[in-house]
A and B are shown apart, each in its own frame.
Chain A
Amino acid sequence: MISLRDVSFAYPGSRAPQLDGITLDIPRGSFVGIAGPNGAGKSTLLKLLAGIVETRSGTIRIEDMPLSRMPRRALSARVAWASQSPAFPPSTCVEDFILAGRFPHLGFFTPMSQGDRDIVGRYLEALDLVSMRRTDVMDLSGGDRQRAAVARTLAARAGVVLLDEPLAHLDPRHHEMIYAALDSERREGRTILMTSHDFNALRRLADRLLLMKQGRILAYAPTGDVSRSAWEGLFDVSFEEIRTGGGDDWIIPSMRRP
């Protein structure tokens, strides 16, 4: 269980807080989809949970342990984070890039084991990167890089996985690969929090949806309970519901103001 109690945060120099009084319980093993307009505080929430920035007020606990008291590497072994704009260092091959995800378990001095390489191999395969394992990350397309960044995050094998816009730059085939990989992680009991502007992907993958606006929670409910009007209130546009031939319900903006 991850619990946040009255958590607020503001970047130095900013007038309005990026997060304002967030209180939230996330059960272990759940998949929470986070949606909201730009500047809603979605990425900041994930950074707080990853311990990259510190709360201004309020507390965050992971399995009853205050996040602020966890040593850096112990926290990273439990919580893995993928940035929405990861950096790609020059002259680094895909396999080495993903191997960096094992640092929380290895530290500076533990030698890399075959087990670590097998874990990396598993995610290279799951995310269609095997043929590029020795390719320089700078030579990859945007979509390939995005999958490499997700693979590195999953390779940490942390109990909590935080993914900030992992579907950006991906074509439909690779969307499906990410869905399958995340579904597999969820079945293994990992807690996943994912932000995305692809709200149909969130509706399809997540058990619960967290709708955020201006640093506050607009709705936090099981996916099926989040109504069309909640989406409309979130983005200030009208949505239409469409049932696909396969029986999935989609919502699409109708481009009319509600």
Chain B
Amino acid sequence: MNWKNRIVRFGLPAFLLALFAALSLLWGPYPALSGLHHGDPRAWAVLIHLRIPRLLMAVFSGALLALSGAVFQSLLSNPLGDPYVLGVSGGAATGAVLAALLGLSRLGPLPALLAFGGAVTTAFIVYAVATAAGRVDATRLILSGVLFNALHTALILFGMSVLGPRELGGVVGWMMGHIGGATLGQALTLAAGLAVLGVPVFLLHRGFDLMTLGRDEASALGLSVRPFMLFAYAAASAMAALTVAFAGIIGFVGLVVPNLVRQFWGGGHRTLLPLAVVWGAVFLTGADLATRLPGMTEVPIGAMAALFGVPFFFWLMRGWRR
């Protein structure tokens, strides 16, 4: 890749991210720019306690979800790979509903821990169900994910039918994706997750290139498929589980962003993985900005991501050759 290409590939999303970040910090019911200009002490409080955590939450949630989707798509050799499709998000939602049912909704990190636990448990079961004779089959994995999503939907609806109105409101808000009340600690936890899980995933980018060729070909080319797949699946599931636990269910980022990057900048994972991280951050920061447009103030970020994501994905599909 020459320098001109590299600037376009990485410079464009970096510029958009910087622009959206600036707008995200300054735009809102409280005029932060004017507050800062006039030395209003509330301006710093708004920035530090509300807007910076929210911005960082959007950035790292988008990055983690997009990276998770890129990894799943490579492992399954299928553009449908996504934490949402594989049931990870549904597992988190069941955990969150369980927390509400047990009356733990306001007990510090417990709801997030239960959501994380639900996501990881579902990922583990889906993987185990899809394994036959020591081999994980991509079609079985997707089908298992779809089935577990259906099961989770049933469990969630059952749970919601017995919840009180107060808990119900909280759970519904969380299920539609919610980063408005993010704390700096949550955002930094996601940043740590991105560093701990994302860096090893990136370092193994050649393995993901081989996995897109299919399991047998990857094996014949020298990849120890079973341990690689187990590590990558666990890492992608953990990234999604961590995000969903704090930010709620935000679909389409993992599905749309890696497919967008692949279509415009190629399928090589050395470029695809970091670009998915950056574009994931851009996508969700942009979606969060859109929720602040006049008349949109109460639209949850998950709904906004889907509103952008669905038509965009249809447009992407038009470009697919097969």
Contacts and interface: CB of A to CB of B under 8 A. Distances in A.
A50 B209 CA distance: 20
The winner among A75, A77, A80, A103 for most chain B CB atoms within 10 A is: A103
Given A89-B267, A91-B263, A93-B266, A108 B206 contact: yes
A83 interface: yes
A87 B213 contact: yes
Contacts of B212: 87, 89, 92
Interface stretch (B27-35, B121-129, B169-177, B216-224): B216-224
> How many interface residues does chain B have, given as a range?
20 to 34
Contacts of B77: 87, 89
B132 A12 contact: yes
B223 A86 contact: no
Contacts of A104: 221-222
Interface string A83-110: 1001101111100100011011011110
B222 A91 contact: no
B314 interface: no
Interface in A125-164: 136, 138-139, 156
A86 B222 contact: no
Contacts of B222: 72-73, 75-77, 103-104, 107
B220 A76 contact: yes
Interface string B304-321: 000000000000000011
Nearest to B261: A91
Nearest to B266: A91
Contacts of A108: 203-204, 206-207
Which among B207, B213, B266, B322 has the highest number of chain A CB atoms within 10 Å?
B213
Interface in B50-107: 77, 79
A109 B263 CA distance: 26
Contacts of B221: 76, 100-101, 103-104, 156
**Max chain B CB contacts within 10 Å: which of A80, A91, A92, A101?**
A91
A90 B272 CA distance: 12
B268 interface: yes
Contacts of B214: 83, 86-87
A117 interface: no
A51 interface: yes
A86 B213 contact: yes
Nearest to A50: B220
The main secondary structure of chain A at its interface with chain B is: mixed
A77 B224 CA distance: 13
Size bracket of the A interface: 20 to 34
Nearest to B213: A87
Nearest to B224: A72
Pick the most buried of B203, B219, B320, B321: most chain A CB atoms within 10 A of its CB: B219
Contacts of B8: none
A16 interface: no
A231 interface: no
Contact of B321 (A80, A87, A107, A139): A139
A61 interface: no
B219 A90 contact: no
A52 B216 contact: yes
B210 interface: yes
B262 A91 contact: yes
Given A52-B220, A100-B213, 14 more contacts: A47-B216, A52-B219, A72-B223, A73-B224, A83-B217, A86-B213, A87-B212, A87-B214, A89-B213, A90-B262, A91-B263, A91-B266, A100-B210, A106-B206
Top 6 closest A-B pairs, CB basis? A76-B222, A91-B267, A89-B212, A104-B222, A73-B222, A87-B214
9 contacts: A51-B219, A77-B222, A80-B220, A87-B77, A89-B213, A92-B267, A103-B223, A108-B203, A136-B321
Interface of B: 77, 79, 132-133, 203-204, 206-207, 209-210, 212-214, 216-217, 219-224, 262-263, 266-268, 320-322
Interface of A: 12, 47, 50-52, 72-73, 75-77, 80-81, 83, 86-87, 89-93, 96, 100-101, 103-104, 106-109, 136, 138-139, 156
